[in-house]
Amino acid sequence: MTDRIRAGIVGGGFMATVHARAIRRSGGILSAVVASTPQRSQAAAEELGAESAADTLDQLLDSDVDVVHVCTPNATHAPLVRAVVAAGKHVVCEKPLAVSPAEAAELVALAAEAGVTATVPFVYRFYPMVREARARVADGTAGPVRLLHGSYLQDWLAEDTDDDWRVDPAAGGPSRAFADIGVHWCDLVEFVSGHRITRLVARTITAVPQRGSRPVTTEDAAVVLFETDHGAFGNLTVSQVSQGRKNRLWFSLDGAAESLCFDQESPESLWIGGREVNRQLLRGTSEHPAAARYTVVPAGHPQGYQDCFDAFVADTHAALGGPAPDGLPTFADGLRAARVTQAVLDSSRTSSWVDVTP
Ligand SMILES: NC(=O)c1ccc[n+]([C@@H]2O[C@H](COP(=O)([O-])OP(=O)(O)OC[C@H]3O[C@@H](n4cnc5c(N)ncnc54)[C@H](O)[C@@H]3O)[C@@H](O)[C@H]2O)c1
């Protein structure tokens, strides 16, 4: 491996641009890009400022890239990751890692056998105030967590004229809203609380049954009630049809001593509730080194989503040459998300409580 990590990207859409910036900002080189056709690869390579365009994935894998970032529609993740891992390259694969738990488990096993680093961008873990909340739970400041609740709401599919590849199960998989954004919430809340969701009961909702000429079979929203391995309970509402909500991931962890609330749309502060006083803890005024580690500009100079990606890619690249930094989301976390998603679908179908495969 060269001193500077050489990264390749598969895909030329929204996530490819975010990953391309993060690769550069973490000191890597964007070596090559491959999209769905040679023409699109060329256009994407120019737009992203890559050294070269690859006509095919094989061509990209034959090059000197150290790590490949898979940024394509969900159903393509498994075949692409199989090829990347078979070529002995490290891999970053977008969430959802795969469209079924069986596929996700296979990818975990293949990456382990190949001895490559394999990560999934559950990037909300990289907000400093998320690390602050996690530290307050871990060191006992918040007290045992009794309730975990919140929502992840968007509105970009609220109208019946709204459509996307995610609506097509052949491209997006059998779950849409939950697999797309519900998994972020579950990953984040499990990460911060240290709890694991053990069983749940869920109802999935298709609010818009027809989008243009396309009948809709996947969920626009889901409501979930769950229990954790620490005997706590929680609930979650996930929606892509909630007018006015753009990317509103919000949670509250109600501990015996403190309630901790985080809002992804206002990520520079953590609300800390107590019987006597409520506080808004601002980034940069935190004592926890775990939070300070992800601070890149002084307090009052807002950090955001791209900074999370930069930190995630920097930590992934660090793991290629040494031990994985604490909190780096891996394929195992992608498998976990696939299992929670499956439990949500199973519960909604059977109208019953379902155990989440540990
Ligand atoms: N981690 C996050 O915060 C986050 C946010 C948004 C999207 N995502 C995930 O990123 C992935 C991509 O989403 P997006 O929003 O960038 O989609 P997009 O539609 O903007 O881009 C997808 C790209 O993949 C290309 N593509 C399709 N099939 C391909 C193939 N077989 N080989 C090469 N390229 C191919 C398309 O041409 C397009 O350029 C999805 O899995 C999505 O769930 C993650």
**Domains of the chain with CATH codes:** 6-122 (3.40.50.720), 124-303+329-355 (3.30.360.10)
Q: What sign for the dihedral angle of Cα 105, 110, 115, 121?
A: negative
pLDDT at 286: 74
Q: 0.95 exceeded by the pTM?
A: yes
Instruction: Let me know how many helices (H) and strands (E) the chain has, helices first.
Output: 12, 17
In sequence order, what are the beta bridge partners of 145? 255
Residue 111: DSSP 8-state: H
In sequence order, what are the beta bridge partners of 355? 199
Phi, psi for residue 295 in degrees, rounded to 5 = -85, 125
Encode pLDDT of 267-321 as tens digits: 999 999 999 999 999 999 877 999 999 999 999 999 999 999 999 999 999 999 8
pLDDT at 285: 87
Q: Is 350 helix (H, G, I), strand (E, B) or coil?
A: helix
**CA distance linking residue 97 with residue 87, whole number of Å:** 19
pLDDT at 192: 98
Instruction: Ligand 1: list residues with CB < 6 Å.
Output: 10-15, 34-36, 40, 71-74, 76, 94-95, 121, 123, 165, 180
Q: Could you tell me the distance, in angstroms and rounded to a whole number, from the CA of residue 35 to the centre of ligand 1?
A: 10
Give, for ligand 1, the residue of 61, 72, 91 to mutate: max count of ligand atoms closer than 8 Å to Cβ.
72
* Contact between residue 161 and residue 212 where contact means Cβ atoms under 8 Å apart: yes
Residue nearest to atom 6 of ligand 1 (CA): 15
Q: Could you tell me the distance, in angstroms and rounded to a whole number, from the CA of residue 326 to the centre of ligand 1?
A: 27
pLDDT at 1: 46
Q: Could you tell me the distance, in angstroms and rounded to a whole number, from the CA of residue 16 to the centre of ligand 1?
A: 7
Q: Could you tell me the distance, in angstroms and rounded to a whole number, from the CA of residue 287 to the centre of ligand 1?
A: 37
Q: Could you tell me the distance, in angstroms and rounded to a whole number, from the CA of residue 199 to the centre of ligand 1?
A: 31
Mean pLDDT in runs of 10 for the chain (358 residues)?
Answer: 86 98 97 98 98 98 98 98 98 98 98 98 98 98 98 98 97 98 98 98 98 95 98 98 98 98 97 97 89 94 97 97 94 98 98 97
Q: Which atom of ligand 1 is nearest to the CA of 72?
A: 24
DSSP of 201-222, one letter per residue?
EEEEE-S--EETTEEP-S-SEE
- Residue 33: in which H helix or E strand, if any? strand 29-34
pLDDT at 2: 47
